[in-house]
Structure 1
Amino acid sequence: MSCLAWNCRGLGNLRTGRELVEIIRAKDPAVVFLAETLTDDARLEVTQRSIGFDHRWVVPRVGRSGGLVLYWKDSINLTVEDSDKYYIDAVIDKNSENEWRLTSFYGEPDTARRHEAWDKLRALNSQPEKPWLCYGDFNEIIRQDEKLGGSRRPYNQMQQFREVIDECGFMDMVFEGPKYTWSKHFENRNSIWERLDRCLVTNSWFMKFGGSKVYHLNCTSSDHVPILISLSGLIPPIRKKLFRFEQMWLSNPGCEEVVCVAWDSRSGVGNEGNILSKVEKCGKELGNWEKNVFGNVRMEMNRLKKALAGEERVAMVSGNNIRVR
């Protein structure tokens, strides 16, 4: 199984919703944690249906800021124990020999109040010990080399984070992918990159899932990148692609023609079977048509995403962000 965490910076943005769906389809996580949802429960329910998850736990936004949500599938035995504006604390396979703890965390964005989030993490640590994974956007770095650009991070600010990590017995999981998980680009061509999102685990969790991997993914709709934790090093399986009708197909007049031709084709089975075979044939023909008509569009989008990631690496070296703003 795998778990995904992402500070999406608002699910009201349609582009963010579409990118989330794309990430879920590609990586197939069993658990998804989203921070800064900036929306209400009605929108979160719509998101749940669009990504095909069975359950959700919501921490409401405060005014127009914050908001957390945890989605999970029936395939995982997850029990939410507690939640707060800084976290959603859950147990996997509760009361079994495979029991472990999953805390989805969101650090206080206001530096003057960040100690409040660390105090909450300390309180969570006071509970009975279980193998523990804590991941999300902590809004803080551990070392100066986790930041590029801008002013140096105050030592005491980082030290407070390091102290709570030590008190909880956490180790910082190594990762694959971009070094920095958050970025901000300014009009004066300067940028700041920081590693604010991470996965922390206790030694007992690491011994239980020693082959696990953390991946920093790419995205374009948020200033944070998603992080994916694949337990025991298991890469999400490649499943047969399900047919999904895409709204953009309706912009091409050929879509209606493909459906009409496929539906009017003859079938030698009974009425019920005939309808099912027509639906199946429509899906097959639309799939073939989509590859020819829109396939190059998807390839171009993927090419542009890779090019953007390359330009960002160049900006980190040159200090000029004009091609990534």
Structure 2
Amino acid sequence: MALSFQSIMNFIIWNSRGALKPYFQGHIHNLVQEHNPAILVVMETKLGGDRAKAITDRLPLDGAIHTDTIGYSSGLWLLWNSNFVEVVLLAKTEQEIHVEVKVRASRLSWLFSAIYASPRSEERSILWENLTKVAELHKLPWVMAGDFNEPLIDEDKFGGRGVNINRSLAFKDCLDRCSMVDMGFSGPRYTWTNKREFSNLILERIDRFFMNPDWCVIYPNARVTHLPRCHSDHCPVLMEALPVNSVKLTRPFRFQEFWLSDISFPTIVSKAWNGNRDLAESIDCFSKDATAWNRNHFGNIHQKKKENSG
């Protein structure tokens, strides 16, 4: 069965540096008016509980989930427009909110994880472990998005001390174990600034969207844009899930872990990701080649088992 999509779905993440600041509600209204997001994640709100609810009740999105704050720091909100999506809470901590998103215009559902990683590395380590546990518990298309408070590579940081190798490797290991892909971006490279003069200026790309291959197959033309920075030292980040002509729901692509143990599998990966293809084309090439390779290489295993047991 093929499913047609009629419009773009937008998703925004923004580290606000405090929901009580005078600009906060006005800027949220502006973001919603301009981009009409299905989901908006707000980090470092510094508010939770009833005080958070009192503010989100006045915002132009009718669904809200809040995390508890740690003293007067942290605070993570996931807001949504129920005309676009149904959201079901699965789990949350101070650093993460995991929900199942059901798209009203289709039968598609997938996992969305809103992230505000602690500035403290030992607490981020707990988050990385939690995310890998989530990866072990589900096989859904998956997006994780938010402020990860950790540059991933040297190019993600300008000024100050270099990227901490051990911490960035721990972050990368988490992403690898969750099968996450960075979709790239347009706009300024860095999403955070310390707002200092040039001699002491530090810039980092730490606010990001990551997707697993199953989600990329559903939305192969998704794109990420770093929006202009306003009222905060972090810029909002927009992801647009662009419409596609059709999505085959009967037999979605699934990455099989046992492929990794086969010596011929790296050739399939290299073939798809080499060359001048863009990300969407590479994903499409990989999914097609891997599906054909799996069918030819392993396709008769179940039939052979039936014959041997018969």
Scaled by the length of structure 1, the TM-score of the pair is: 0.68
**Residues 1:88 and 2:132 are matched in the alignment:** no
CA contact (8 A) 1:10 1:16 kept: yes
> What is the CA-CA distance between 1:111 and the residue it aligns to?
2.2
Distance 1:43-1:25 versus aligned 2 partners, 3 A rule: farther
Distance 1:99 1:42 in 2: 30
Distance 1:222 1:233 in 2: 31
Counterpart for residue 308 of structure 1? none
Using the alignment, how far apart are the partners of 1:125 and 1:201 within structure 2? Answer: 12
**1:208 partnered with 2:223:** no
**Residue segments in structure 1 that go unaligned for 5+ positions in a row:** 235-325
Matched residue, 1:2: 10
Give the letter for the 2:168 counterpart. M
The 4+ residue runs of structure 1 with deviation greater than 6 A are none
Matched residues in 1 for 2:21 and 2:39: separation? Answer: 22
Structure 2 distance, partners of 1:3, 1:145, is 25
Identify which of 77, 99, 124 aligns with 2:86: 77
In 1, the alpha carbon distance for the partners of 2:23 and 2:220 equals 36
Gap change, CA 1:5 and 1:227, over 3 Å in 2:
same
Secondary structure of residue in 1 paired with 2:29: helix
In structure 1, distance between residues paired with 2:198 and 2:220:
45
1:220, CA displacement in angstroms?
2.2
SS at match of 2:118: coil
Q: Is the 8 Å Cα contact of residues 11 and 43 (structure 1) preserved in structure 2?
A: no
CA distance in 2, matches of 1:231, 1:35: 21
- Post-superposition CA distance 1:80-100 (Å, at most 9, x none): 111111111011129x95121
Alignment-derived partner of residue 67 in structure 2:
59
Query: What pairs up with 1:9-88 in 2 under 5 angstroms?
Result: 9-75=17-83, 76-88=85-97
CA contact (8 A) 2:74 2:116 kept: no
What amino acid does structure 2 have at the position aligned with 1:77? E
CA distance in 1, matches of 2:16, 2:134: 25
Matches of 1:169 and 1:220, distance apart in 2: 33
Which structure 2 residues correspond to residues 203-242 of structure 1 after superposition, within 5 A?
Answer: 203-232=213-242
Aligned partner of residue 32 in structure 2, secondary structure: helix
Give ranges in structure 2 of 5+ residues lacking alignment.
1-8, 245-310
Question: What is the Cα deviation at residue 180 of structure 1?
Answer: 0.3
Q: Tell me, yes or no, if the aligned pair for 1:93 and 1:100 is still in contact at 8 Å.
A: yes
Aligned counterpart in structure 1 of residue 200 of structure 2, from 184, 190, 196: 190
Amino acid at match of 2:208: R
Q: Displacement of 1:170 after TM fit?
A: 0.5
Question: How many Å separate the matches in 2 of 1:37 and 1:131?
Answer: 28
Which residue does the alignment assign to 2:189? 179
Match of 2:101, as an amino acid?
A: I
Matched to 1:68, the amino acid is L
CA-CA distance at 1:178 after TM superposition: 1.2
- Structure 1 residues 233 and 146: alpha-carbon distance in aligned structure 2, compared to 1, 3 A threshold: farther
How far, CA to CA, are the matches of 1:129 and 1:41 in structure 2?
32
What is the CA-CA distance between 1:44 and the residue it aligns to? 2.8
Per the alignment, do residues 113 and 60 of structure 1 end up closer, same or farther by CA in structure 2, a change over 3 Å counting?
A: closer
Decide whether the 8 Å contact of 2:148 with 2:206 is kept in 1: yes
Post-superposition CA distance 1:192-224 (Å, at most 9, x none) = 000001111011100110011111111221111
Answer with 179-188 or 62-71: which moved more: 179-188
Match in the other structure for 2:153: 143
- AA aligned opposite 2:34: A
Query: Offset of 1:45 from its aligned partner?
Result: 3.2
User: Any idea what the Cα deviations from partners look like across 1:4-61, whole Å, max 9, x if unmatched?
Assistant: 1111110010112222221111111011111111124444334334432111111121
Cα RMSD (Å): 1.9
1:108 to 2:118 alignment: yes
Q: Which has the larger radius of gyration?
A: 1
> What secondary structure is seen at the aligned counterpart in 1 of 2:225?
strand
Q: Name the SS for the 1:81 alignment partner.
A: strand
**Counterpart of 1:282?**
none
Q: Which has the higher contact order (CA 8 A, sep 6+)?
A: 2
